[in-house]
């Protein structure tokens, strides 16, 4: 019998031709409509590269320039954990890594159920939680502490992440000075900027303003990261019906034009510098006016963006484990489940925002722990099924024969552990479940979250490195 | 003359029909202030109610506002200074450093639908630019901030208004996801609103 490789669930939304339509549409937008670039150095780079600049800062891009930039950018990017050259995250193929989101105002405290402003100690507790969950592979800050420096919280957040987790960090910054301070801290930990460039432990997240606006501060960050050769995801968040057409094709084409024009600026500064493709395409709810996180359209947009990035052979940014619900409830669980499955099926390289509730205004540690359980479950689903001789087990079927049973066989003993074993989900029958305290999933989840948060002591940073972080933070003031 | 059809056409967003209705009412000698209040503004109040009840969606509300504006444009030459003043002139923008403008735009559109004259200062608006707008006649300013890091520019603007000796002649309204009633009070703003429809209600109270 011929042996086949394992079968795995896959999902493809766009074929090449459909990707090409969106590509050509973006080229047309950039040639005909153009984009505004509010940055002198970027304008100069574009002028030298034969882009057409009119009306002070309106740039029209020749198609060749965009395709040149696409050919320069590396096709894969890896991120390392603290103090190792071994990649923790490889953004390639259908690989998916999950991480949290950044900067929520509010914290839903699992111990008290209280919904309140984030404090620095909550941020630390959340980072430690991320560090303890193997399913969460990179860290974003989760909260903006209300009790820390309100003018420049970003470098404080970054310092906390570098201190309390050894996982790769994705950071937010207010401006280039923040980026400089944050990169300096990471370089100190990595043992120098060369070492950091070879084994990057961090990724800069910055935003293009839809429609078609490259702001001064965000372009500043883009050029800075390009110059250092450190990875950046520089992306727009087109909001269908708000800042972008309400139809997905138009919004996707617009967002694509924005990313590609950003890529051109980035590659002109330093050809070959690592760039992560991203589009936070989503829509505005016309009843409540929120920017929606839990919707079939949101998930279709993720599939579209992932396929488009793959068409360009670029590493890319994704979303999972988020909800519009204000608490950790059935709605949140359902949103987490479907978005995580979609992230895995569509191969979103960096799926962030795990733990976001209230459409990105609140972080819930319980949502993070719940999502971890679902990630685990769905990774089992994605493993698919093997077709090798041992899996087909024809010999065994023959030996056991009609009327026998498989329970006592060596084969069962050897393989039963490959089945998914839930931590939170119940499989007890009623009497047994009642005996164990009649706990609903929500009760289990709260207990598990609190115990994880109480138990964890991450690998400490050495005293001298910690001093160095403090020094950089203070010098930056 | 029956103003009901104008009222109904505003709710349904029929700008052309509102225009012809307003023309006919003016020709029939109905007072412009009465048309404004009993047909146009009353209709927008109803639109606001339907939106809050979840029966109307944002685009429907905006199209009703457009119909209302079409009628208002015809009324303007006939309105007395008092009628116009009644609605108020609001200068609105996102504060310095903040580029999140979707919420601000929604609030501006709603206020416009409620009959306010809007001066949209755009994004990343400095305290000086708000001051200038007040010097140019705005009697209300609306500031929006979505970032914790830019909220402090709201109080900077209020301080700038004080320094320019203008604080007494203008009402200040603030909003945006991180902004709260308590924060608004602490920086000496006159009002806060959590969303676009309550923003209109609050704005009306401020200028009443
Ligand atoms: C869309 C979005 C963006 C878009 C903005 C596009 C645009 N043209 O506006 C882009 C991608 C550019 C962006 C950029 C950034 N963003 Co942003 N963004 C959002 C997001 C997802 C939605 C905001 C939104 O439009 N909501 C829909 C509108 C309708 O709601 P709203 O603004 O709250 O407005 C309503 C009310 O608040 C009120 N209101 C608003 N203004 C006013 C004014 C008055 C006078 C009144 C009375 C009422 C009122 O009425 C409105 C209608 O009901 C939020 C998350 C969230 N859920 O809010 C993050 C969020 C606001 N962003 C955030 C961050 C960190 C950033 C960046 C710093 C990230 C980065 N480093 O690149 C940059 C900053 C750019 C800058 N300098 O401003 C954080 C803020 C955290 C914080 N507390 O500071 C949030 C909360 C996300 C998060 N959890 O990380 N963002």
- What local confidence, expressed as pLDDT, does residue B82 receive? 61
Ligand 1 pocket, residue A359 CB under 6 Å: yes
Average pLDDT, chain A: 95
pLDDT at A460 over 80: no
A105 → closest Cβ in B57, B59, B148: B148
- What local confidence, expressed as pLDDT, does residue A261 receive? 98
What is the rounded average pLDDT of the residues A275-282?
97
Question: Which residue did the predictor score with more confidence, A101 or B196?
Answer: A101
Burial tier of B208 (Cβ tally within 10 Å: 0-12, 13-18, 19+): exposed
CATH class of B4-82: mainly alpha
In whole angstroms, give the CA distance from residue A354 to residue A366: 10
pLDDT at B197 over 90: no
What does the block give as tokens for B109?
Answer: 């559109």
For ligand 1, atom 48, which residue shows the shortest CA distance?
B175
What is the rounded average pLDDT of the residues B59-74?
91
Q: In the beta sheet, which residues pair with residue A147?
A: none
User: How do residues A221-248 score in pLDDT, each as one tens digit?
Assistant: 999 999 999 999 999 999 999 999 999 9
Q: Give which of A6, A2, A28 is closest to A253, Cα–Cα.
A: A28
pLDDT at A344 over 70: yes
In the numeric block, the tokens 């990774």 are attached to A379
What is the rounded average pLDDT of the residues A428-435?
96
Name the minimum distance, in Å, from the CA of A215 to any CA of chain B: 9
Name the minimum distance, in Å, from the CA of B68 to any CA of chain A: 20
CB A117 within 8 A of CB A106: yes
A289 → closest Cβ in B106, B151, B152: B106
Length of chain B: 208
CB B140 within 8 A of CB B171: yes
pLDDT at A212 over 60: yes
- What local confidence, expressed as pLDDT, does residue A296 receive? 97
For ligand 1, atom 59, which residue shows the shortest CA distance?
A360
Q: In the beta sheet, which residues pair with residue A138?
A: A99
- What local confidence, expressed as pLDDT, does residue A50 receive? 94
In whole angstroms, give the CA distance from residue A379 to residue B146: 36
In whole angstroms, give the CA distance from residue B121 to residue B133: 8
Read out DSSP for chain B? ---HHHHHHHHTT-HHHHHHHHHHHHHTT--HHHIIIIIIIHHHHHHHHHHHTTSS-HHHHHHHHHHHHHHHHHHGGGS-HHHHHHH-EEEEEEETT----HHHHHHHHHHHHTT-EEEEEEEEE-HHHHHHHHHTT-SEEEEE--STTTTHHHHHHHHHHHHTT-GGG-EEEEESTT--HHHHHHTT-SEE-SSHHHHHHHHHHHH-
pLDDT at A343 over 80: yes
- What does pTM read for this prediction? 0.92
User: How do residues A158-188 score in pLDDT, each as one tens digit?
Assistant: 999 999 999 999 999 999 999 999 999 999 9
What is the rounded average pLDDT of the residues A6-20?
93
Give the contacts of A34 (CB within 8 A, at least 6 positions apart).
A52, A58, A59, A60, A61, A212
User: How do residues B76-107 score in pLDDT, each as one tens digit?
Assistant: 888 876 665 557 899 999 999 999 998 999 89
pLDDT at A149 over 80: no
- What local confidence, expressed as pLDDT, does residue A380 receive? 97
Best mutation target among B48, B51, B52, B58 (most A Cβ atoms within 10 Å) is B58
What is the rounded average pLDDT of the residues A24-37?
98
pLDDT above 70 coverage of chain A, percent: 98
CB neighbourhood size of A440 (10 A):
10
The CATH fold assigned to B89-207 is Rossmann fold (3.40.50)
Residues in B lying within 8 Å of A, measured between beta carbons: 54, 57-59, 99, 102-103, 105-106, 148-149, 151-152, 177-178, 195-196
Question: Which residue did the predictor score with more confidence, A222 or A85?
Answer: A222
In whole angstroms, give the CA distance from residue A138 to residue A170: 7
- What local confidence, expressed as pLDDT, does residue B202 receive? 93
Question: Which residue did the predictor score with more confidence, B160 or A455?
Answer: B160
Residues in A lying within 8 Å of B, measured between beta carbons: 105, 144, 146, 150-153, 174, 209, 215, 239, 241-243, 284, 286-287, 289, 291, 361
- What local confidence, expressed as pLDDT, does residue A464 receive? 82
CB A161 within 8 A of CB A139: yes
pLDDT at A359 over 80: yes
Which helix (H) or strand (E) segment holds residue A350: the answer is strand A350-354
User: How do residues A384-412 score in pLDDT, each as one tens digit?
Assistant: 999 999 999 999 999 999 999 999 999 99
**A4 falls in which pLDDT band (50, 70, 90)?**
confident
- What local confidence, expressed as pLDDT, does residue A468 receive? 82
What is the rounded average pLDDT of the residues B6-28?
96
Q: Structural domains in chain A? A: 1-387+420-477 (3.20.20.480), 389-418 (no CATH)
**B52 falls in which pLDDT band (50, 70, 90)?**
confident
- What local confidence, expressed as pLDDT, does residue A148 receive? 80
pLDDT above 90 coverage of chain A, percent: 90
Ligand 1 pocket, residue A104 CB under 6 Å: yes
Q: Where are the domains of chain B?
A: 4-82, 89-207
pLDDT at B34 over 70: yes
Query: At A240, is the secondary structure helix, strand, or coil?
Result: strand
Best mutation target among A141, A147, A286 (most B Cβ atoms within 10 Å) is A286
User: How do residues A282-318 score in pLDDT, each as one tens digit?
Assistant: 999 999 889 999 999 999 999 999 999 999 999 999 9
CB neighbourhood size of A444 (10 A):
20
Which helix (H) or strand (E) segment holds residue A391: the answer is helix A389-392
Taking the CA of residue B72 as centre, how many other CA atoms within 13 Å lie in the half-sphere pointing to its CB?
22
pLDDT at B53 over 90: no
pLDDT at A2 over 80: no
């Amino acid at each position: 019998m011929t042996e086949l490789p394992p079968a795995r669930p896959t999902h493809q939304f766009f074929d090449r031709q459909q990707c090409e339509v969106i590509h050509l549409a973006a080229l047309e937008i950039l040639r005909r409509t153009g984009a505004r670039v509010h940055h002198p150095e970027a304008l100069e780079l574009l002028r030298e590269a034969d882009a057409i600049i009119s009306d002070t800062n309106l740039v029209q891009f020749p198609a060749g320039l965009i395709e040149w930039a696409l050919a320069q950018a590396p096709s894969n990017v890896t991120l390392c954990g603290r103090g190792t050259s071994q990649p923790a995250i490889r953004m390639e193929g259908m690989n998916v890594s999950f991480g949290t989101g950044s900067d929520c105002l509010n914290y839903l405290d699992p111990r008290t159920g209280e919904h309140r402003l984030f404090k620095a100690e909550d941020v630390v507790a959340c980072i430690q939680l991320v560090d303890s969950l193997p399913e969460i592979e990179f860290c974003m800050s989760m909260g903006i502490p209300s009790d820390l420096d309100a003018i420049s919280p970003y470098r404080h957040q970054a310092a906390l992440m570098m201190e309390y987790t050894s996982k790769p960090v994705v950071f937010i910054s207010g401006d280039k000075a923040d980026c400089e301070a944050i990169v300096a801290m990471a370089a100190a930990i990595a043992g120098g900027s060369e070492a950091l460039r070879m084994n990057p432990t961090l990724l800069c997240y910055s935003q293009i303003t839809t429609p078609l606006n490259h702001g001064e501060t965000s372009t500043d960050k883009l050029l800075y990261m390009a110059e250092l050769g450190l990875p950046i995801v520089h992306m727009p968040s087109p909001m269908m019906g708000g800042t972008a057409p309400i139809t997905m094709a138009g919004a996707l084409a617009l967002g694509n034009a924005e990313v590609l024009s950003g890529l051109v600026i980035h590659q002109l500064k330093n050809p070959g510098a690592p760039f992560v493709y991203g589009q936070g395409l989503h829509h505005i709810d016309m009843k409540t006016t929120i920017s929606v996180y839990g919707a079939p359209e949101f998930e279709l947009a993720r599939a579209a963006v992932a396929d488009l990035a793959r068409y360009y052979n670029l590493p890319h940014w994704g979303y999972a484990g988020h909800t519009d619900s204000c608490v950790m409830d059935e709605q949140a669980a359902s949103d987490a489940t479907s978005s995580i499955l979609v992230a895995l099926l569509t191969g979103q390289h960096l799926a962030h925002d795990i733990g976001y509730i209230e459409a990105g205004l609140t972080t819930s540690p319980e949502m993070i722990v719940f999502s971890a359980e679902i990630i685990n479950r769905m990774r089992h689903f994605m493993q698919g099924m093997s077709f090798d001789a041992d899996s087909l087990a024809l010999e065994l079927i023959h030996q056991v024969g009609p009327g026998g049973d498989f329970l006592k066989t060596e084969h069962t003993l050897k393989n039963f552990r490959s089945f998914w074993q839930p931590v939170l989900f119940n499989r007890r029958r009623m009497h047994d479940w009642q005996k164990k305290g009649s706990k609903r999933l929500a009760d289990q989840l709260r207990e598990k979250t609190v115990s994880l948060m109480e138990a964890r002591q991450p690998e400490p940073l050495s005293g001298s490195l910690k001093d160095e972080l403090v020094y950089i933070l203070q010098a930056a003031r | 003359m029956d103003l009901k059809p104008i009222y109904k056409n505003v709710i349904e967003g029929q700008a052309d029909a509102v225009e012809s209705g307003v023309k006919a009412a003016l020709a029939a000698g109905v007072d412009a202030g009465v048309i404004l209040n009993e047909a146009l503004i009353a209709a927008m109040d109803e639109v606001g109610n339907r939106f809050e009840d979840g029966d109307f969606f944002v685009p429907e509300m905006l199209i009703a506002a457009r119909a209302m504006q079409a009628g208002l444009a015809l009324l303007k030459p006939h309105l007395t200074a008092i009628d116009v003043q009644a609605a108020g002139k609001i200068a609105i923008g996102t504060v310095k450093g903040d580029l999140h403008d979707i919420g601000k735009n929604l609030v501006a559109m709603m206020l416009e639908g409620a009959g306010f004259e809007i001066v949209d200062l755009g994004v990343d608006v400095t305290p000086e630019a708000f001051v200038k707008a007040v010097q140019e006649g705005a009697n209300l300013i609306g500031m929006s901030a979505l970032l914790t890091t830019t909220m402090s520019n709201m109080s900077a603007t209020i301080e700038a208004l004080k320094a320019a000796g203008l604080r007494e002649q203008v009402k200040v309204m603030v909003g945006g996801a991180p902004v709260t009633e308590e924060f608004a009070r602490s920086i000496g703003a006159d009002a806060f609103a959590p969303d676009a429809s309550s923003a209109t209600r609050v704005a009306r109270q401020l200028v009443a």
